[in-house]
Structure 1
């Protein structure tokens, strides 16, 4: 047996996440984003411990005030921003117990240089007493999604982007995924969502919901800005031989006149709950129902994530599961 990243629905020992802490990054959205994160933490804590990074004393005080007696451990650490899916370690099951993989972090292709983010993986691995293997190529956790059997889905837009690993081609990327994460079959999708700051992270587009079973969005209508992206993903997934299930798309969601990468696919699968991001779109209720049908053993909760999204992501982007 090789070391391999387990599926997100496998039992967790804890969930790691981070609290919006920097007013200069979040500006007018800081307090509202803190409230949204706190509500997510409350939901996850129904079934597992939550480990929460806070970057400064003001953020720690705000977190304690919002969370009260919730089962959460606060960790003082000077991180840059809250996207632990990308900056945290990827935990693996190995023949010798738990292991962790850390990758070179180049701030999403050099776009957002936030001091402290490059040390998050080592900090979390140290706090969990998990051996960390450091790998020299660029990979963010949100760029891949796995089903626990060695199958992984990703996008060409991100993993073949010259701003990540310019000297690596598709064959080399697949070889590194096999070597470092035990992933031996790769479904390559094309582009991610329009205006996604991460260059098309797959966790905003396609998510495994069971072995060989992939959830994909269905366009909200002809004016859905990601209609062609979704249709291409459906074609590739079915050609690959996967069982594909539909989840509604929010369609065109605007902020200050700009299309933003709102997606219900950025849900997080915790031990007791699945937390689904909502945006006040017509699809909100139907998305929760569709995802609830995929996880009958968990409570599926829809929560507003408008203000977290102003920073570039949603619930899945800000969480990292620590498997049992």
Structure 2
């Protein structure tokens, strides 16, 4: 794990919290029929509504495979009234999950204030080949923005981590310690790499993810920082639900954790939606998969009374942002929602 080159942290870079100002949000337009079998035509207009909400908030960059895909995207965006600063890039992808295959951006004061980290990407442990095009996206994003790009040197997806911008990083043992990611690295080596490249000082470990999550337990379906000392965490109230035990264990772990000043974390419980089952498979539906943009918070909803409860909780936590709930009952058939589809570019 040693290197002769200075690490991003040594150069003064750090990953800001998601609520810090963005210069843009980056997306990859959905096109893989295998990700939403039989439902891609339903998903695309829903995705367009997300883009429209984001474009009210900030600049949006979208990867498309070619001119034809750009034209189709423009047609759908026009149909939902999307207006704003939207840029298309002919950067072909294998799939739409920009949170995981896109660059993770870090910032510093001085020259080259924005930099990209290109982590290794293997489609969640090699589950969904091919992923050769997705692996090229971080460098192409960096080049488009004129930002230097560092190689992180291990497999890491953006949805597997969450930071508070002041030294803390949340992740899960189920994902980062899974042998299908970095079997040659110890927990301590993984922690050091996160500190070296994202400018964090402390890694906080949760346990397992929710049922149906093919990412092996991404933290963005579980627990999210909403302030330097505050997290929201998904809690299942029904002891008979198959997510109950894992979420209770994560809650117990959070209660033992401390913030960057050594104080106990403030923990806000976020309800879970009802079980969403399609073709006999439980899907990873979670309100924790929200995305914090400059002026809006995109909330996945599921046509259930808990939608309003989740929205009210986030509205209290983000009083200057509009909470935009968009039904993800069909979207989550792809095993992800708004946070999985987005990647922030910090303002500098």
Does 1:29 find its partner at 2:39? Answer: yes
Residue 79 of structure 1 corresponds to 93
Within-5 A mapping of 1:112-127: 112-114=128-130, 115-127=132-144
Residue 301 of structure 1 corresponds to 324
Does 1:257 find its partner at 2:267? Answer: no
Which deviates the most, 49-58 or 137-146? 49-58
d(CA) in 2 for partners of 1:306, 1:23: 17
Distance change >3 Å, CA 285–CA 160, structure 1 → 2 = same
Does 1:153 find its partner at 2:170? Answer: yes
Following TM superposition, by how much is the alpha carbon of 1:254 offset from its aligned partner in structure 2, in angstroms?
A: 1.0
Contact 1:19 1:54 in 2 (8 A): yes
Does 1:108 find its partner at 2:124? Answer: yes
Within-5 A mapping of 1:32-71: 32-68=42-78, 70-71=83-84
Residue 260 of structure 2 corresponds to none
Compute the TM-score of the two structures, normalised by the length of structure 2: 0.90
Residues 233-290 of structure 1 show CA distances to partners (whole Å, capped at 9, x for unaligned) of 1111111121101111113221122211100100000000000001223311111111
Contact 2:212 2:335 in 1 (8 A): no
Give the length in aligned residue pairs. Answer: 324
| Partner SS, residue 22 of structure 1 | coil
Contact 2:105 2:116 in 1 (8 A): yes
Residue 90 of structure 1 corresponds to 104
The runs of 5 or more residues in structure 1 that have no matched partner are: none
Following TM superposition, by how much is the alpha carbon of 1:132 offset from its aligned partner in structure 2, in angstroms?
A: 0.4
Contact 2:299 2:323 in 1 (8 A): yes
Does 1:203 find its partner at 2:220? Answer: yes
| Partner SS, residue 267 of structure 2 | strand
d(CA) in 2 for partners of 1:111, 1:24: 12
d(CA) in 2 for partners of 1:27, 1:77: 23
Q: Which contiguous aligned blocks of 4+ residues in structure 1 show a shift greater than 4 angstroms?
A: none
d(CA) in 2 for partners of 1:27, 1:60: 22
Residue 244 of structure 2 corresponds to 227
Compute the TM-score of the two structures, normalised by the length of structure 1: 0.96
Which deviates the most, 73-82 or 157-166? 73-82
Residue 247 of structure 1 corresponds to 270
Q: CA RMSD in A?
A: 1.4
d(CA) in 1 for partners of 2:33, 2:93: 13
Contact 1:144 1:203 in 2 (8 A): yes
d(CA) in 2 for partners of 1:57, 1:26: 23
Which deviates the most, 14-23 or 82-91? 14-23
d(CA) in 1 for partners of 2:71, 2:327: 23
Following TM superposition, by how much is the alpha carbon of 1:24 offset from its aligned partner in structure 2, in angstroms?
A: 4.8
Which deviates the most, 8-17 or 109-118? 109-118
